[in-house]
Structure 1
């Protein structure tokens, strides 16, 4: 059966039921779609090119290597100090020896480290033989005194008979001489008694002055000879620092100069110069400066110590110690230029005062130097200078477990 339905108009560009209007061909619609697609592609290409150009611009812009804080050198008063090395020694030492010969030590009453007073008993020797000798010489003294009394009386009687002529002049002189001889024997006997009394006193060893016993050689039961050292004592417990100062610097040190002495264990003692040696060692060309030290628990005779003489103050150009960078044995600072780049400058340093260091040469007083972060810089690095807000943010925060009052 044949289909009699009307066929659609294939030449029309509009749908069959569309209202009458302008007619467009298929090629027109395709061209319009292609134009829109080209416009979209062109826009995308333009956007991509602009983004790529921005990325390239950012890539070629140099980035700072580090954020640093800066400071300018300052003129400040820095103490003048002369450093020296030396040894701690006793102000004076006393050697206490035996003054008796061939006696046995019976008691030793002190030991090393004991503080003694002048006249204090330190040791005793056996005095039995000395007591016997003393008794003998005392008996001899009594005998001599009796003989002297008789001889003096005879001489007096002989002189009384001189006018009568009963005795010749020779006899009278003999009696007078005998009386004088007897008196001399009394004096000799008296001297013998004093010698034995002195020997008896020497059996007691006494401290010649107050001080501290630094060495002991006395042993109970030992028989020592006269002059043998029994003890060694630091007189009055006083110590001094004997500093070695070069001949060129010696004129700057005067008696009364204040000195700060640092011992090996880190203790610091303040002293003053008592005397400057009148001679210089011909081998080392150094002179000794004697510094009186106060009593201190950590000071010992024989210790090595460093010290510094306070010679006043002077004006100096200083920078923060954090700005100094030590490399290859030299000191450097990094100076910022107008383009925020740093230049490495070699400087010569001098004295130190708290957290500042004196710069003797190599730095202009108007320069701006990197402080925080200087140790990580290299010559020519681009840096960013920290603002006040950056400094506040980098400050350490208070611990969370503290109260607000404690955090302040």
Structure 2
């Protein structure tokens, strides 16, 4: 029997068919796990590191307005940026019209006092004449009533005079507190209006920084924490956290921290300043910043179990310094965290640890 050689094309087709049907002797190899670098989450000394900016504002802003309306401003005694004491005269209103009313009230009081003296003497003459038949009881009672009525009229006239004198004293506008005049809107010649602010004063000349702080960082701050503040001029001051905001702005996601500052002539409300929150160095749970990832749900870390499998854990971060970040919650000490490359790893993936990243 004579065998003819098969064509080359037929041989290649048969080989491909056997390979597709699993006829190949070499099985498909599973790809190796990805290689990652890891770092331990552990207790480390970490300084502050949180920075924020904001505007300088008075701790307490006092508005000074006249209590009387319709009186012309005669004199303004202080200018903007002046330091004033409690009770110091800021402005004087014209009392010309009031003085004439006071003179009339004094004259009327004098008349009422004379009338009362006459009525009192008339009532004194009938003292002890009741039921004596000298005068009728009606006449006696009328004199006594007239004396009491005249006495009441004296009281009314005196009250009217006191009211006018009180008004006259209120024409002098005084500072209710000691502090620094931030704004002066009083101008001589203008009529006064009750409720119209003439002066704005920073009580005790206290100015502080209202820093805008991210919501995630608010939990790392405490009342009394030291703060290094840098003014726009470059001047550096040391302050401390006096008040922490109770709410977060819906649009910006920022809260506010009030930072008390020492009295300094360079502190001008409305100015810009930067705050560096510096806590004393302490041992906190931390990890490299590269181990913390972010998405729409917030911060998270990719942690490895004993079998080198990936598990996602949501975390809350705090202070940052020197490439490290504080882990407030979400991870335990000693756990291994993947550094970078989190977007290519899924829950449960097995990984291979690079030699330089093995704990």
TM class by shorter-chain length?
0.5 to 0.7
Higher relative contact order (CA 8 A, sep 6+): 2
State how far apart, in whole Å, the 1-side matches of 2:88 and 2:268 are: 24
Alignment length, in residue pairs? Answer: 264
Query: Unpaired runs of 5+ in structure 2?
Result: 1-42, 289-318, 327-337, 341-352
Cα offset for 1:188? 1.5
**Contact 1:82/1:311 (8 A) holds in 2:** no
Whichever of the two has the greater Rg, that structure is 1
Q: Does 1:183 align with 2:151?
A: yes
* Structure 1 counterpart of 2:94, from 126, 129, 134: 126
Taking the TM superposition and a 5 Å limit, the aligned residue runs for 1:347-386 are 351-352=320-321, 357-358=323-324, 362=339
Q: 1:359 to 1:190 in 2, by over 3 A?
A: closer
1:9-408 alignment, distance < 5 Å: 77-281=45-249, 284=252, 286-315=254-283, 351-352=320-321, 357-358=323-324, 362=339
Deviations 1:106-127 (A, max 9, x none): 3222211112222222222222
Shift of 1:244: 3.3
Rate the CA distance shift 1:284–1:161 in 2: closer, same or farther, 3 A.
farther
Aligned with 2:198: secondary structure?
Answer: strand
TM norm structure 1: 0.55
CA deviation profile, 1:346-370 (whole Å, cap 9, x unmatched) = xxxx833xxx544897499x969xx
In structure 1, C-alpha distance between the alignment counterparts of 2:227 and 2:133, rounded to whole Å: 90
Q: Shift of residue 231 of structure 1?
A: 1.7
Distance in structure 2 (CA, Å) of the matches to 1:240 and 1:77: 30
Alignment RMSD: 3.6
Q: Does structure 1 conserve the Cα–Cα contact (< 8 Å) formed by 2:131 and 2:137?
A: no
More helix by share: 1
What displacement does 1:162 show? 1.5
Measured after TM superposition, the shift of residue 90 of structure 1 is 0.6
TM-score by length of 2: 0.62
The Cα shift of 1:79 comes to: 0.6
Structure 1 distance, partners of 2:190, 2:140, is: 57
